[in-house]
Chains A and B, each alone.
Chain A
Amino acid sequence: MVDFLRNCPQYLANGLANGCIYILVAMGFNIIYNSTGIINFAQGEFSMFGGLFAYALAVSAGLSLPLAVLLAIAATGLIGACMERLMIYPLRRASVLTAIIATIGASIFFKSLGRVLWPNEAYKVPEFTPGNISLPGATVPRQFLWVLGLTVISVLLVYVFFSRTRAGRAMRACSVNRQAACLVGIDVSRMSFYSFLLAAALGSVAGLANAPYASYSIGLDLGVKGFTAAVVGGLGNTFGAVTGGLVLGLLEELIPGFLTVVMGISTGYKGAVASILLIMVLLLRPQGILGKGMVEKV
């Protein structure tokens, strides 16, 4: 028990860092869900592309890191935009089941593409500023500050976008009622296009900030965790995503930490924490911690 408490600051720091990544992925889910009503199962793959593109541009092509990062974000956004035009637009009137299967198809297509282009298990993306910081009771890499900063900036930008700008408010209108939004002159299909662009860009930030390693295989895992974060906070709610991401990040460090240090159980169970949390929240409080009750029209 004492060991566990002594480790706690480290768990908190790691949890916060992972939580930030989950927040970014969760916001991607929210943006797409808000404007199209679709859960994009390929959201985690956007993060995979972010990391791998950053590696390709910064290490393989030798560009300067800031330029590589910007280009990687832009390239991933482009992939999201292509996906919307080629797949989501033709399916805009399809049933939920159809949309789910199609985005899953996109997800394994992207994963396999990533594996073909970058076949190794992991690639080291250079850290923005190398080195570690020592805090009382914990050591965190400098990269952590970047992750935190990028997340805060992204959350604020998304919030401002949705509450202050014309396009953002139009997207929110789509989420409330697509038909009504159309009647007041909003181009619904363009909003869907923007949302995929934006979600892919946000996802790629999560992937490339998640240094030092990028791999073709992170997509599914990150996708499930990001979705869990989004659901825990209430799907579609920006600050819900923040809450959900932090809760998930912390629980995912603290629970396995407790089980390992105090009860001597293998850390391998860590992978199940997010899924168990997801199932519990969906069954017990499907509207999320911050969400209001859901009413479904028949």
Chain B
Amino acid sequence: MEEKREDSLQEVAAAGKGERRGGFLGEALFLARRHVVFLSLVAFIAVMPFWAKPLSKPLGIPLVMVMRLVGIYTIVAVGLNILMGYAGQISLGHGAFFGIGAYTSAILTVKAHFPPWLGIIMAVLVAIAFGFLVAPVLRLKGHYLAMATLGVGIVLFVFLREMTWLTGGNDGIRNIPPLSLPGMRIGEARDYLRAEYYFIWVIALIVLLLCSNLVRSRLGRAMRALHQSEVAAEVMGVNVSWEKIKVFVLSTALAGLAGGIFAHVQGYIDPNLFTIVLSIQLVTMVVVGGMESIWGAVAGAGLITFIPKIVEALPKWLGEVPRWVEKYSNYEGMVFGLILVLTMIFMPAGITRGLSDMVRYRRSPFVNPFRKKAME
């Protein structure tokens, strides 16, 4: 008996050091250590509504409501982060794929009376189909790819706006049924905000877990290889064009998923929600959260979604604010623009990566670009 206990203590110690040992406890601790970020996020998300409710009023920010949106944007941002951060392929058209997801689910539930959960699944499938349709642009590189995906976003937006027989044009679609699962009414529940919140975050956390596994898989290594040098990756036996298409379609599928959920949470959609502005906002989330960082996507989505809400709440905190703060929506572009430019100049790997490097390597996260010697 005594010996056995000794054994399991050793296991715990071994697991603490990150070594894998047999036995249930050791296994569990090993997994817990490996997924420490994920588990702490789960814990945070699970208890958040309980302390958020009494806090929302004095803060002037409906925390649970905003966190629903953060969850939705997290789903897109993770996909885009894999595409941009890991595979190095930029997309300036993901707002449109988000819109396609939203419209698919909205049209199917409003006009064909699908249940919302089926509508969301169809949204993912349609987004995948469009992803494959657009995939040929991945042959392009760098600036050309950026402009082509921008063009894709514009074309899809124009079609969403002009196909009035299907999408309702600029008037959009109203009275989209709220979220529900078979036998569960989520969006019409008594505490529907909290129900939607948990629904969205369960999906977002599953997506996060899958993606964090994915980037450590063969596909993940292939993506990082082709990011560094497509030729070298090709030589090493990576099927570059097919891997790029896979990653791109994955990211459009996630955008479609998020869009489908978004439509049911909002209840109405119109094409002007899904313009280039949204695409750039999504890119900003990835940049702020940090390239090559799955968990950074949560931080990026959270920060970008919360900034406007905090500014809106400022008058409540401070009593009186200058007039220009109240007209924040006009300045939003300037704030995002500055975030993008300054991040690129001073922390090209993104803010979370820059800060975590600072902690890890005990060095300044800022590279001083003005002090570098001239290139030539």
Chain A residues within 8 Å of B, Cβ to Cβ = 38-39, 41, 87, 90-102, 104-113, 115-116, 119, 178-179, 182-183, 188-189, 220, 224, 227-228, 231, 266, 268-269, 271-272, 274-276, 278-279, 282-283, 286, 298
Contacts and interface: CB of A to CB of B under 8 A. Distances in A.
B372 to A, nearest CB: 7
Contacts of B341: 87, 102, 105-106, 109
B159 interface: yes
A8 to B, nearest CB: 24
Contacts of A100: 90, 142-143, 146
Contacts of B372: 93
A281 B116 CA distance: 40
A96 B340 contact: no
Nearest to A275: B151
B338 to A, nearest CB: 6
A105 B346 CA distance: 14
B170 to A, nearest CB: 9
Contacts of B340: 101-102, 104-105, 108
Given A97-B88, A100-B90, A224-B154, A112 B369 contact: no
A87 B155 contact: no
25 contacts: A87-B341, A90-B369, A100-B143, A101-B283, A102-B345, A104-B280, A105-B337, A105-B338, A109-B333, A115-B330, A116-B334, A183-B376, A224-B147, A224-B150, A266-B164, A268-B158, A269-B158, A275-B152, A278-B151, A279-B152, A282-B137, A282-B147, A282-B148, A283-B136, A298-B231
Nearest to A182: B376
Contacts of A115: 330, 333
Query: Chain B, interface size: which category?
Result: 35 or more
A119 B333 CA distance: 13
A98 B348 contact: yes
Interface string B243-284: 000000000000000000000000000000000100010010
A39 B141 CA distance: 12
A128 to B, nearest CB: 31
Contact of A116 (B158, B330, B348): B330
A276 B153 CA distance: 11
Interface string B68-110: 0000000000000000100010101000000000000000000
Given A268-B161, A268-B162, A113 B334 contact: yes
